[in-house]
Structure 1
Amino acid sequence: MLSFQAFFVTCTGLWTTERTYHSTLRGEVERSYTEFRVDPLTAADKQKVLSLSQVNGAAQAPSFDLVTLASDETLCPGFAIAFDTRSEKGEQVSMSLKALFVPDRYLAAPFSDIPPPPLAAQVTTEPTGEAIQGFYLRDEGYSEAGAIAGRFTYQPTRQTLEMTTYYRRSCAVDQMRIIAPDLRLRTIVTYQRPEGNVPPSVIDLVGFGVERKQPA
């Protein structure tokens, strides 16, 4: 079983994956190949991501206990990611971003202005209390440019990190599950974002793949 911190240590390095994407509304299937370079965040990186953090689509952003977070840079793990993707049609996309994971216990005040997640992404934290939940902060979004925030849940016994991000027109649920030190499963489900404060239910895209960590 990987602890919260150990999960992110395991994620560092060079990973390769071949994914299959299913467009459920158009009935299309596409494959792609991606190389990820993952490095740990420095203390300066973490402070920069915190300063940019905001909740996408919300009137206010959550406030964090910055004094506590600054006193120990290991409290919130994260990583810097650079990746290159090539689709079977020959299209290429390159991007780099920094992501920080801040557990709810470091909120400076309660924050409830969070859209409901899709039913498939809802997690019951009781009675075991094992799951760690919090905010997933990035200096760049995937679907939309600029800093963005979402929600994350980490389940140690399943060694699974799930990230739910709300964009203006969609909601993405991205899950990583480590099944061996050099092997992880990846699924990405994108929903249409509904009007009003209701869970998304219309699935637009489903992607999945097996990711392998390359020797150092």
Structure 2
Amino acid sequence: MLNFQDFFTTCTGLWTTERTYHSTLRGEVERSYTEFRVDSLTTADKQQILSSQSSAAIQALPLDTVKLADEETLCPGFAIAFDTRSEKGEQVSMSLKALFVPDHYLTITQPVATPPLPIAAQVVAEPLGEAIQGFYLRDEGYSEVGAIAGRFTYQPTRQTLEMTTYYRRSVAVDQMRIIAPDLRLRTIVTYQRPEANEPPTIIDLVGFGVERKQVA
């Protein structure tokens, strides 16, 4: 069983994946191949994300900056650079950094007001009490340009990290599950974003794949 820190250590390295995407509304299927490099965040990377002035969502979080400065090594993250090629020949290259901050580092004890989660992202934290939940902060979004804040849940027993991101027009639930040191499963469920304070229910896209870590 991988603890929170070990999960991110295992994720570093060069990975390749073949994914299949199902457009549930249009009835289309598309495949893609991706190579991506994952590195651990440096102290400078973490400070750059936390101090991002381009994201109102990040700046609005009640983060305990003193505690974060003292225990920043306990907030893991990764820097990702990837190249994707679709079966239609389309190519996309991108890089981003993401920092994962457990709720322990919030300055208030009450939950921060966040939009309702879709069914695919709902996790029962109790009575087991092992799930780690918090905010993950990215310096760049996938679907939209600019820094963004989302919610995450990590389940040590299942070695599964799940990230939920609310964009302006969609809601994405991205799950990574490590099943071997060099093998992990990936699923992505994208919903249409509903009106405020309503849980997403209309699924637009479902993607899944097997990701393999390459020998250096």
TM category (shorter chain) comes to over 0.9
Q: TM-score w.r.t. structure 1 length?
A: 0.96
Aligned equivalents of 1:54, 1:126: Cα separation in 2 = 31
Q: Which amino acid aligns with 2:87?
A: E
Match of 2:26 in 1: 26
What CA distance in whole angstroms lies between the structure 2 residues aligned with 1:118 and 1:61?
23
Structure 1 position 94, deviation (Å) = 0.2
Structure-1 separation of matches of 2:172 and 2:65: 28
Q: Which residue of 1 aligns with 2:87?
A: 88
Which one-letter code corresponds to 2:145 in the other structure? A
Residue number in structure 2 paired with 1:138:
138
What does residue 75 of structure 1 align with?
74
Shift in Å, 1:147: 0.3
Q: Which moved more, 1:93-102 or 1:43-52?
A: 43-52
Structure 1 residue aligned with 2:201 = 201
Unmatched 5+ residue regions in structure 2?
Answer: none
**Contact between 2:120 and 2:173, CA under 8 Å: does it hold in 1?**
no
Unaligned runs of 5+ in 1: none
Matched, 1:55 2:60: no
How much has 1:74 moved relative to structure 2?
A: 1.1
Q: Kindly tell me: are residues 10 and 175 of structure 1, through their superposed partners in 2, closer, same or farther at Cα, counting changes over 3 Å?
A: same
8 Å contact 1:5–1:77 — kept in the other structure? Answer: yes
**Counterpart AA for 1:171:** V
Structure 1 segments, 4+ long, off by >6 Å, are: none
1:87-110 CA deviation, whole Å, 9 max, x = no partner? 000000000000000000100124
* 1:72 to partner: Cα distance: 2.6
Match of 2:120 in 1: 120
TM, length-normalised to structure 2: 0.96
Q: Spell out, residue by residue over 1:165-199, the C-alpha distance to the aligned partner (whole angstroms, 9 max, x if none).
A: 00000000000000000000000000000012011
In the alignment, the residues of structure 1 paired with residue 45 and residue 199 of structure 2 have an alpha-carbon distance, to the nearest angstrom, of 33
User: Aligned letter for 1:158?
Assistant: R
1:54 is displaced (CA, Å) by 4.3
Q: What is the distance in 2 between the residues matched to 1:15 and 1:120?
A: 25
Matched to 1:113, the amino acid is A
The 8 Å contact of residues 16 and 35 in structure 2, kept in 1 or not, is answered as: yes
